[in-house]
Structures are given as C-alpha cells and as structure tokens.
Structure 1
Amino acid sequence: MFKKYLLVGLSLTMLALGGCQATQSSQPTHENAPIIANKKQVKKTTAILAEKAFKSGDNAYLEVNHNKSTLDVRQWQTERIKYGALDDLNRTTTNTAFLSKETLGRSNTRHRQTWQPTGWHNQPVMIDSQRVFPESRGHLIAYAISFNFNRDGVFQKGELGSSNNPKNLATQTVFSNQRTMQIFEDQVRQALTQNKKVIYQVTTVFRGDELMPHGYWVQAISTDKKLNFNAYVWNVQPKMQFDYATGRGHYDGSMAVVDQYAGNPYQN
C-alpha cells in the first residue's frame, strides 16, 4: 500500500512539474514580456536623481553608475519600443527601445507636433534682445532613430509611431533637447549606421507632483557591448529659470550651463 501511495505521489509530482514547465513555455514572448528588468531599481534610481539640484555653472549632464548601462541585452531579439504608460498626472515615464539600422530615418519627415505634454507653455522670452521660445516637445526616444514603429511600439514598415505620441513627448528645454540629448542620441545613431543593434532607454525624472521634468535619465548598450553609456541630462536652459511645478519660465541672465556638446557653438 505504501508503494502504491508513493507511486501516486510521484506521478502527481511529475504532473505538477510538467505543468510548471508548460506554464513557463506558454509565458508571453519577449515581444510582450516586461522590458525593464528591474523596475524597483529604476524607481530607486529615478527617486535619487529627482532629489539632485542643478546649480548655475554645472555641467549639462551627470554620469550615472560610472557611465555604465544597467540594461540587459538578453531580453531583446527583435526591434521593439516599450512605451511606458502615462502616470496619474498624465506624465511620461520610461520608454525602452531595441533599435537597428532599420529604425533610422530623417527628422524632416515628421508631422507637426500638436500634443501638449504636462508643463507645456512655451511662452516667448526676450533674451539678449531676441524673442526666444525656450521649450520644445522633446521626444524620449528620438524621432530619427525610431522609424517603422506603430503607436504601440511594434515594428511595422512605413509607420511613424513616435510622431506626436503622448507617451513619447515631454516638455524639454531647447538647450537640453538640441544640445545635451544630442550627445547621446548621436552615439546611438552612429552605432545604428554601423549596423549595430542598440537597447536605448529614457526615463523622465519628475520631482513630486511637478509637471515639467527636472531631467532625463538616458542609458544605452549595443548587443556587442561597444556602445555603453548611462547619464542624467539636466532639463535646463542658459539664461532661463523654470518653475518645474508648472513649466513656466523667466529670464535670468546669471543662469549658466556648461555646454558639453561638441557640435556648433550654442546660441540662444
């Protein structure tokens, strides 16, 4: 009798194990699986970055984790963008993309952007006798490297899903968008033109319930590990101060930002 129960027990155990294996194999594929490997770590790092304060004269960005990405290349096999859901205040969160040469395009093909992200005002300001619009609708995943995706981030030839996508646009200063972010977007673009595959992630960093992000946490790694960076881009503008709770700004001639972009000299 004991042997009979033992055999029955072993049979049930094997069925249970078989069921576990079947359940694992029926899990969503990488196309639908969570893309952010460690959401707790992302949340923790974002909270730490949110408490940092920019001081006039500081560099335009900070290195994070000694400039080494924490992204896991093993999670990705095909082109995909995981657009993070807007939060309770309608703010962008974290977008992660697996990019290739197939996702490159030209920025002059995009349609007019009409979405107004949180904190969007873009009121003109007089700086050095010039009328300046200091804000832009900044793409988290840059438009020119995110072609052929639909609005859900699925790779689909001919689609322009990052164009005017609320989950991919945030209120960003022109300086941060066109200067500092270019440092990192250019690295990704160059790697893609060399036929590398790149995982690229951007998180908007808000403080409390403020509507304009204080900065953008950017990191990327290529599958061959030769491209690898991790940085925090300040959402600031020379000669401007912003109320991040509302997104409104005003002229401040004493506000200085060290321009680390190697391109043409910055002009307001």
Structure 2
Amino acid sequence: MKIKARKIVALLGIVSASLALSACHNINSTNPSTTPNNVAKQSNQTTTLNIQYSKLANLNFTSGKQAIIELNSNNATLNPNDWQGPKINFQNLDPFNRTSGSNTAFLSKLNVDALSSMRTIQYVKPSGWHINIPGKEIYNRGHLIAYSLSKGINKKGIYSPNSQAGDQNNPRNLFTQTAFANKALQTIFEDKVRMALIHNKKVIYQATPIFRGSELMARGIHLQAISTDRSLNFNVYIFNVQPGYSFNYQTGKATVDKNMYVLFNNQKINSFDTTNYHRHDRYFHGHQLIRKIAHSKIYTFCKNKVNTIFHSNQ
C-alpha cells in the first residue's frame, strides 16, 4: 500500500507541474503555446492590431482639430494579469531603421523618477531626424518609454537596483517627434503613469510610433497603459504635429505653415514656445504639485501618523 501511495503522490506531482507550466504566459513570450486555440487567438490579436495601426497610419490631421484621439473608449487592450517585471521589452529597428514596433514596459515604484542629474547629451539620430533651427525647437528625440519612467532599466530592458538612471541614447527607444507632441501632449499620459507608480501601482505601459508606408517620420504615437488594479487605464493616439508647421513625413522636413492650427486646452494655436508650454496644459500644474507633495517628507510623516492612528483604533 505504501508503494502504491507513493506512486499516486508522484503522479499528482507530475500533473501539478504540468498544469503550472501550461499556465505560464507573457505578452512577448519567446516560446508561445502552439495549441490550435492559442495560435488562433494570438493570430487574431496580431491581425486586429495590424488593422488598427494601418487605420491610424492613414489618418490625416486636420488643422484646427485636437491632436489626441481616444481609442477603444479610452480603454487599454493590455491584460493587467500579464505584468512581469520590472523590465522593458524593446523591439528591434525595422528595415527602414525605424522604431515601428511596440515597446512594452512593466513598471513599478522602483522605476519612477530617474535622476535628472544622470541625463547625458543625446546623440542618437532617429529616422527622419533634422537639426533644429537656433531659437526654434521643432524636433525632439522622443522616448517611447520616458527616461523618468525607466529608472534602473538598461538598453537590454533589464532592471538593476543599483542604477539610478533611466533609458537614454537607446536607438530602440527613440523616434523623431515634434516638440509639441512630446512636451505638451505625451507628457500628459506619462504623468498619469508616473502618478500611478508613485502610489505604488504596478503598470503595463506600451508605446508604438505609427508610420505610413516607408516614411521616416512617424505620423503619430499610440500610447496605452493599465495598472494591475485597473485604476489607471487609457488608450490614445497622438498626432505627431507642430502648430505653425507642416511636415514632409517621408523625409521629416518641416515647413512654416501659418494655417496650421492645433486645438489645445480649448484654444486654437499656431505657435508653440517650449519655454512656457506648460501654461497651456491644464494637467501640468496639478501633476507637478501632486508629485512634489507625494515626495515630500511632510507628506510621508503625516501619512505614517494617520496609518498608525487608524490601525490603533481597529
């Protein structure tokens, strides 16, 4: 009977291990399941994304309109249960030397607010890059995953707790972006991610530059994020435009266009000053203030006192 019992226990152990292995799954697994159902599901998801990106690539911005579009009712298509990290899955450059793939970041509080003092001069020239005219900032080296959200993560996407710097000068994480799209628009959503991380949320954040055909400059960027508790959830497309300029997206060359207006903060603007861009951004001041409060010693002290009083009264 003892021998028979041991066999049964061993058999149960094998079955449990098999079930555990079959349950393992991640977004960019190098060894995806090859069962017919899973293959069909992954194929459908890829097809859906390709169709969506194709539609986005064919959108033309209309002067005077907003440069941000909500997708899927502003709900991310990411699965919060896929969080695994912290790390970033960087995609390789495509045949046109572009960052046309989706960089997916799995972030925690450990990755927020990389030290500004460790930033270095950027020298990477992404596809479609042009040097700015002195005094006029039109082009930015736009990060797919922001420097300030990638503390401790190196160019291979691997996290190291000993590093205080974020990702920089990484060709797989940069694209030619307008100063307006980068500093006035994308920062809105990066701040949403940052605030979630400060509040100890775990977040999946994905950024995908959208190119049309063989063009070297992206038409826009698709951003989506979700926290594991779903308190953070957005899905947007940002046009890569600049008030007062039009672009040849095949080459990235900008031309002055006085008829190019962008609706921003309920105002139609055809100029953009990077030195005071935040005055137009109704989100900026609130986010900056909250960040300062959340990092302050007074906030931490008061929070700990409140928690102590709360638990002592239970």
**TM-score bin (small chain):** 0.7 to 0.9
- Relative to structure 1, the CA distance from residue 185 to residue 85 in structure 2 (aligned partners, 3 Å threshold; closer, same or farther) is same
The answer to whether the 8 A contact 1:180-1:259 is kept is no
Once the two structures are superposed, the pairs formed by residues 75-114 of structure 1 within 5 Å of their partners are 75-92=82-99, 93-104=101-112, 105-114=114-123
CA 1:94–1:107 in structure 2 vs 1: closer, same or farther (change >3 Å)? Answer: farther
- The 5 Å alignment of 1:170-189 reads 170-189=175-194
Counterpart pick for 2:131 among 112, 122, 126: 122
Return the offset for 1:40.
2.8
Report the number of matched residues.
243
Indicate the larger mover: 81-90 or 38-47: 38-47
The structural deviation recorded for 1:27 is 9.9
State whether structure 2 residue 160 is matched by structure 1 residue 151: no
Q: Distance in 1 between matches of 2:145 and 2:213?
A: 23
Report which stretch shifted further, 151-160 or 251-260. 151-160
After superposing the two structures, state which structure 1 stretch, 164-173 or 102-111, moved more.
Answer: 102-111
Cα drift, residue 39 of structure 1:
2.9
Q: Residue in 2 aligned with 1:134?
A: 138
Preserved CA contact (<8 Å) 1:180 1:260: no
The amino acid that maps onto 2:238 is: V
Quote how far apart the aligned CAs of 1:210 are: 0.1
Query: TM-score when scaled to structure 1?
Result: 0.83
Could you state the TM-score of these two structures normalised by the residue count of structure 2? 0.71
Cα deviation, residue 254, structure 1: 1.3
Structure 1 partner of 2:252: 247
CA contact under 8 A between 2:140 and 2:182: conserved in structure 1? yes
1:222 is aligned to 227
- 1:59-70 → structure 2 map (5 Å cutoff): 59-70=66-77
Residues 260 and 39 (structure 1), Cα distance of their counterparts in 2 relative to 1, 3 Å cut: farther
Contact 2:25 2:82 in 1 (8 A): no
The percentage of aligned residue pairs carrying the same residue is 42
**Do structure 1's residue 33 and structure 2's residue 40 form an aligned pair?**
no
Q: 2:78 is matched with which residue: 59, 68, 71?
A: 71
Q: Which amino acid aligns with 1:33?
A: S
> What amino acid is the match of 2:213?
G
Give runs of ≥4 in structure 1 deviating > 3 Å: 21-24, 26-32, 158-161, 260-263
Q: Which moved more, 1:21-30 or 1:54-63?
A: 21-30
Write the distance in 2 (CA, Å) between the matches of 1:115 and 1:25. 41
Counterpart CA distance in 1 for 2:86 and 2:259 is 44
- 1:152·1:161 contact (CA, 8 Å) conserved in 2? no
* 2:75/2:233 contact within 8 Å kept: yes
In 1, are the aligned partners of 2:76 and 2:225 still within 8 Å (CA)? yes
Structure 2 residues not aligned, in runs of 5+? 1-13, 33-41, 267-276, 282-314
C-alpha contact 1:96 1:202 (8 A) present in aligned 2? yes
Aligned partner of residue 237 in structure 2, secondary structure: strand
Cα deviations by residue, 1:236-257 (Å, 9 ceiling, x for unpaired) = 0000111000001011111111
Letter in 2 for 1:149: I
Cα root mean square deviation, aligned: 2.7
Partner SS, residue 264 of structure 2: coil
**Are 2:64 and 1:57 aligned?**
yes
Q: 1:190 to 1:242 in 2, by over 3 A?
A: same
The alpha-carbon deviation at position 106 of structure 1 amounts to 3.5
Q: Is the 1:73–1:222 Cα contact (8 Å) retained in structure 2?
A: yes
Aligned pairs for 1:41-52 within 5 A: 41-52=48-59
Q: Which blocks of at least 5 consecutive residues in structure 1 are unaligned?
A: 1-17, 126-130
Partner of 2:10: none
Alpha carbons of structure 1 residues 109 and 239: separation in structure 2 relative to 1, 3 Å? same
Are the counterparts in 2 of residues 64 and 230 from structure 1 also a CA contact under 8 Å? yes
How far did residue 260 of structure 1 move? 4.1
Going from structure 1 to structure 2, the CA distance change for 1:71 and 1:31 (only over 3 Å counts) comes to closer
Find the residue that maps to 2:188 and give its secondary structure.
Answer: helix
Deviation at 1:124, TM superposition (A): 1.4
Within 1, Cα distance between the matches of 2:49 and 2:162?
Answer: 32
Aligned to 2:279: 264
